[in-house]
Amino acid sequence: MTDKKSSEFDKVFNVWDILVIAFGAMIGWAWVVSSGDWIDRGGVIGAMLGFVLGGVMIFFIGLTYAELTPAMPDCGGEHVFSYRAMGPTGSFVCTWAIILGYVSVVCFEACAMPTIITYLFPSFLQGYLYTVAGFDIYASWLAVAIIMAVFITYINVRGAKTAAIVQTVLTCVIGGAGILLIAGSVISGNPSNLEGQAFVGGNTASVFGNILRVAMMTPFYFIGFDVIPQAAEEINVPLKKIAKMLLLSILLAVAFYVLIIFAVGYVLSPEAIAQSESSGSGLVTADAMARAFRTDIMAKVLIVGGLCGVVTSWNSFMIGGSRAMYSMAVSYMIPPVFGKLHSKYKTPWVAIGLIGLLSCLAPLLGRKMLVWIVDAGNLACCVAYCMVAISFVILRKKAPDMPRPYKVKHYKFVGFMAIAMSGFMVVMYCIPGSAAALVPTEWAFVGGWVLLGVVFYFVCKARYGEKFGTLVEVANDELDKDYARERSAAASIAAGEAAETTAPAKVATIGQAEVTAAVSAVTAAVTTADQPTARTFSYYAPVNLTFGAGTLAQTGELAKPLGSKALVVTGHSSAKKTGVYDKVNNSLTAAGITTGLFDKASANPLTTTVEEGARIAKDGGYDMIVGLGGGSVMDCAKGIAFMAKNDGDINDYIYGCKSSDVALPLVLIPTTCGSGSEANGFAVLTNPENGDKKSLRCPAIMAKRSIVDPEAMMTMPKGQLAAVGFDAFCHCFEAYTAKNAQPFTDALALYALPLILDSLPRLVAGTGTLKDWEHMSEAATIGGLVIGTAGITLTHAMEHPVSGLKNVTHGKGLAALAPTVVDATWQGDRFKFGRLARLMGGYTAEDCAGKIRGFERKIGLDVTLGDLGISESDIPWLTQNAMKVSPANIANTRTEIGAEDIAELYRKAL
């Protein structure tokens, strides 16, 4: 599943930051210690050509990264590219491989730091401890390595910008040292020094072979440009420029290495290089610096530059490795704890901490062991490069219309070259006897890492189920214009929201004044958000509604014009226990109305119960029906009023086989603030024979009088209150996002939703006041009004089969389904879902489902379908029934939904 969210990272990297992070990662320390070895292998010109050839190979790979990174600027880089192209398994392999490469470099640099200090100060080594693979480990050596590891870890936890500032300073020092060497060699060098060391080899074949040997080593030195896509989510730069900086970093690194090799060979003769390697410090580049400036002090200056290179590589790969781990964690491919961001610094501190811990432990193994680990990591990086190159080609075929701010020309040729070259490097690591072949110890590290990955893969897949391998993409202003417009509209919309939460009067009749005011507010907000208003619509809601505390006592006087004999329909006991029934019955009797009682209405009222009540109404000569109770009771009363004036099977009327526009007059008195049935002309009834739960719809069952008294609801149990309140929330929510929505229903829904969000949690917590009950009651009635015109959508369409099958509480079923449904449908109208998200404290449409879950937790309705007794085996029937019973509601949903989609949503909600 692919979804979108707002980024949790701070965008702190500018153009210079990303350039120095990538360039600093690539130039490191090797240019100080290995230039002599490169020249020995290929000669000065040969080594330069080897680096150019290696740079060309990497540049083709870099071109694939340059296209993919701006197209998918999410944290994790390779993780996202390979996921979109190859799915979760391919993504796991690719990202797991690149993490080995990053972590191996971080651990190696922890050993390189004290080693460089040893070059500077030979007496630095003190306190011999033990020997590993021929390498002596001293206490002073370990202390420096561990202290520096802690420091680098701290810098990275403190924030990406802090790490970038450190990177900038140190990269400038490295660049300055390199430029000094190059300039000094041009002044002090001599072309004669190139004689005898321009190339190595007795014939053309051997010369070319030695150039290739150098080229095969270079991928390790160019690893680092790929840190840019790892941190793409934190880059505050136009997307196309990210691609250009990535490619520029590769070109600069190639130029740097080539010029350093030239400088060393131009200023040192073959004899001087040999002497430096055999009897000197072994730091040929440092000796070249001393020779160029004719002072040993400059050798120290260059070594300090190399020391800075250790830190820049260390820092860059810490950034890259932690972001790669974060991306796997948020996809549940490794434990999600590694996806935690620091609350203040917005860095993946757990992932950084683990890599930091490994860099503290690595020096205990000694430098030789770390060289083996790095070689294994080099192979892993090449594997990841090859998979990214393959992903580049796949996505050109699979997603040709994907926005690509930087689009590579001749993609087939570029893709072929990138795959061939990265694949060739992988093969060379595997062929025994090749210049890059791994030794058995290095293969042991590779095997151990693969085994650990297999364990994570299967354990996490078993533990996290469908969450394993999910990808939540980050919405980007530049790629998603709707998202950008929504963000720009958010501030202006928010300004109007305060007015919409103005409290209503204690006793009121909902009329034209309130509707007009609310319409004005919503029209302004919608226009600001660039959301088109409906051009043609109709609004008809002929309900005579009286609202206010104490209005229950007016029942008799309000009902008197409708008839003289009333059948009071209620539930088994609740209205009687609370005394509400007695108040209503006494008021009716006092007004001269004869009453009878039908108290068999139940939750999810049955068609058979309706038919029984209708027979009693007919036989008793009743001329009006009074529905007293929650939504189920009122729906039952509506059905009885309808069938008391009509013949035949009620199911024929429900499914449209028959029609009628007559019913007994209805007085509806809600005792729960949820269904809003008192304000619309339909009744939801369940057929016990087949479990169908569907609405009887007829204008005749619109109440002639509705009496909404908040005081009649104040005895509800907290669990029931939460369930019915969430039903009211869904009515307003769904009506607002429905295809049939129009300005009047939008206005009323937006008027009611803040009342529910504000008052319901307090009422459930037991801290609400009469004002909260008034707000909640009014909002529930408005919910009934708006669904009478705009209708309901997928959440209700999927819930009706659930409560029809298992007789669960309707509000609980809605709570189990709503977040999952919104997750799948917000793309249908991001402006409206974004506005609803902001009402709940979010920001954009992507936040909406999460905010609904948070609201459910506040009112104690954090439930799943599994909690309600639904199992996997029920899904086929539920899906079939939803498609059969609620096609209109499904069609009223703004996102196109089919049977397979509904089945999958039921599955996700279990």
Match 């290995």 to its residue by tokens: 34
Residue 533 has pLDDT above 70, yes or no: no
- For the chain, what is the radius of gyration of the CA atoms? 37
CATH of the domain at 303: 1.20.1740.10
Q: Which residues contact 34 (CB under 8 A, 6 or more apart)?
A: none
**CA–CA separation, 173 vs 675, rounded Å?**
70
562 Cα distance to chain centroid: 56
Answer with the one of 405, 439, 459 that is the final residue of a domain.
459
552 and 696 share a domain?
A: yes
The gap between the terminal CA atoms of the chain, to the nearest Å, is: 17
> Quick one: 620 exposed, middle or buried, by C-beta within 10 A (0-12, 13-18, 19+)?
middle
494 and 599 share a domain?
A: no
Six-digit token string for 383: 């594997």
Neighbours of 151 (CB within 10 A): 14
pLDDT score, position 509: 42
Cβ atoms of 302 and 263 within 8 Å: the answer is no
153 vs 10, higher pLDDT? 153
pLDDT score, position 516: 41
pLDDT score, position 622: 96
46 and 106 share a domain?
A: yes
504 and 590 share a domain?
A: no
Where residue 123 falls (left for φ over 0; alpha for ψ -120 to 50; beta otherwise) is: alpha
pLDDT score, position 665: 96
**CA–CA separation, 533 vs 527, rounded Å?**
8
Neighbours of 476 (CB within 10 A): 22
Neighbours of 691 (CB within 10 A): 18
Q: Which of 828, 160, 73 is nearest to 476 (CA)?
A: 73
**CA–CA separation, 731 vs 804, rounded Å?**
19
Q: Which residues contact 432 (CB under 8 A, 6 or more apart)?
A: none
pLDDT score, position 541: 77
Looking at the domain assignment, is residue 283 inside a domain?
Answer: yes
**CA–CA separation, 582 vs 553, rounded Å?**
11
Q: What is the DSSP string of 510-564?
A: --HHHHHHHHHHHHHHHHHTTPPPPSS--------EEEETTGGGGHHHHHGGG-S
Q: Which residues contact 565 (CB under 8 A, 6 or more apart)?
A: 593, 594, 595, 596, 620, 621, 622, 623, 624
Looking at the domain assignment, is residue 476 inside a domain?
Answer: no
671 and 755 share a domain?
A: no
Looking at the domain assignment, is residue 482 inside a domain?
Answer: no
The residue-averaged pLDDT of 718-723 equals: 93
Looking at the domain assignment, is residue 824 inside a domain?
Answer: yes
pLDDT score, position 129: 94
The values of phi and psi at residue 645, to 5°, are -115, 5
Q: Which amino acid is at 575?
A: A
Rounded (5°) CA angle 30-36-40: 125
Packing angle, helices 411-430 and 367-398, rounded to 10: 150
Cβ atoms of 278 and 201 within 8 Å: the answer is no
Looking at the domain assignment, is residue 471 inside a domain?
Answer: no
Cβ atoms of 426 and 216 within 8 Å: the answer is no
The residue-averaged pLDDT of 138-162 equals: 92
Six-digit token string for 684: 């939801």
pLDDT score, position 789: 92
Six-digit token string for 851: 């905010």
Cβ atoms of 86 and 386 within 8 Å: the answer is no
pLDDT category at 279 given cuts 50, 70, 90 is low
Domain count, the chain: 3
286 and 380 share a domain?
A: yes
The overall average pLDDT reported for the chain is: 88
279 vs 72, higher pLDDT? 72
589 and 527 share a domain?
A: no
Cβ atoms of 549 and 710 within 8 Å: the answer is yes
315 and 376 share a domain?
A: yes
**CA–CA separation, 158 vs 584, rounded Å?**
67
Dihedral, CA atoms, 524, 525, 528, 530, nearest 10 degrees?
A: -110
Beta bridge partners of 235: 13
Least confident of 251-255, 372-376, 408-412, 827-831: 372-376
pLDDT category at 477 given cuts 50, 70, 90 is confident
Report how far apart, in Å, the C-alpha atoms of 237 and of each of 13, 79, 220, 234 are. Answer: 8, 21, 28, 9
Q: Which of 604, 727, 690, 693 is nearest to 882 (CA)?
A: 693
Q: Which residues contact 183 (CB under 8 A, 6 or more apart)?
A: none
Rounded (5°) CA angle 185-188-192: 90
Q: Which of 356, 471, 547, 444 is nearest to 90 (CA)?
A: 471
**CA–CA separation, 100 vs 379, rounded Å?**
9
Beta bridge partners of 686: 606, 693
H or E element at residue 116: helix 78-120
H or E element at residue 120: helix 78-120
Cβ atoms of 704 and 558 within 8 Å: the answer is no
525 and 560 share a domain?
A: no
pLDDT score, position 479: 79
**CA–CA separation, 808 vs 870, rounded Å?**
10
Strands 682-686, 545-548: pairing kind: unpaired
Q: Which residues contact 739 (CB under 8 A, 6 or more apart)?
A: 891, 892, 893, 894
Answer with the one of 680, 715, 750 that is the final residue of a domain.
715
3-state secondary structure 442-453: HHHHHHHHHHHH
Q: 3-state DSSP call for residue 379?
A: helix
The residue-averaged pLDDT of 781-791 equals: 93
Residue 867 has pLDDT above 50, yes or no: yes
H or E element at residue 598: strand 594-601
Residue 487 has pLDDT above 80, yes or no: no
Match 């561990």 to its residue by tokens: 146
675 vs 491, higher pLDDT? 675
Answer with the one of 689, 715, 741 that is the final residue of a domain.
715
Looking at the domain assignment, is residue 234 inside a domain?
Answer: yes
The values of phi and psi at residue 627, to 5°, are -95, 120
**Exposed e or buried b for every residue in 30-67, given b needs 16+ CB within 10 A?**
bbbbbbbbbbbbbbbbbbbbbbbbbbebbbbbbbbbbb
pLDDT score, position 488: 61
Least confident of 261-270, 501-510, 556-565: 501-510
**CA–CA separation, 482 vs 477, rounded Å?**
8
The values of phi and psi at residue 149, to 5°, are -60, -45
Packing angle, helices 296-330 and 139-158, rounded to 10: 50
395 and 521 share a domain?
A: no
Report how far apart, in Å, the C-alpha atoms of 282 and of each of 34, 62, 192, 421, 895 are. Answer: 9, 33, 23, 32, 68
Range(s) of the domain holding residue 795: 489-538+716-910
Residue 593 has pLDDT above 60, yes or no: yes
Looking at the domain assignment, is residue 517 inside a domain?
Answer: yes
Six-digit token string for 130: 């033990």
Q: Which amino acid is at 812?
A: K
Q: Residue 33, CB half-sphere, CA atoms under 13 Å: how many?
A: 15
The residue-averaged pLDDT of 174-184 equals: 93
Residue 396 has pLDDT above 50, yes or no: yes
**CA–CA separation, 112 vs 4, rounded Å?**
41
How do residues 620-651 score in pLDDT, each as one tens digit?
999 999 999 999 999 999 999 999 999 999 99
Residue 519 has pLDDT above 70, yes or no: no
pLDDT category at 498 given cuts 50, 70, 90 is very low
How do residues 600-611 score in pLDDT, each as one tens digit?
998 889 999 999
Where residue 12 falls (left for φ over 0; alpha for ψ -120 to 50; beta otherwise) is: alpha
562 and 664 share a domain?
A: yes
**CA–CA separation, 794 vs 404, rounded Å?**
34
69 Cα distance to chain centroid: 18
H or E element at residue 705: strand 705-708
Rounded (5°) CA angle 254-256-261: 95
Beta sheet of 507-508, edge-to-edge order? 507-508, 545-548, 705-708, 666-670, 624-629, 565-571, 594-601
pLDDT category at 506 given cuts 50, 70, 90 is very low
253 and 352 share a domain?
A: yes
**CA–CA separation, 125 vs 401, rounded Å?**
60
**CA–CA separation, 11 vs 26, rounded Å?**
23
CATH of the domain at 676: 3.40.50.1970
pTM of the entire predicted model = 0.61
pLDDT score, position 525: 42
CATH of the domain at 729: 1.20.1090.10
Looking at the domain assignment, is residue 40 inside a domain?
Answer: yes
The residue-averaged pLDDT of 816-833 equals: 92
How do residues 59-109 score in pLDDT, each as one tens digit?
999 999 999 999 999 999 999 999 999 999 999 999 999 999 999 889 888
Residue 778 has pLDDT above 80, yes or no: yes
How do residues 460-472 score in pLDDT, each as one tens digit?
999 998 889 888 7
pLDDT score, position 484: 63
pLDDT category at 652 given cuts 50, 70, 90 is very high
pLDDT score, position 424: 86
838 vs 46, higher pLDDT? 46
Q: 3-state DSSP call for residue 462?
A: helix
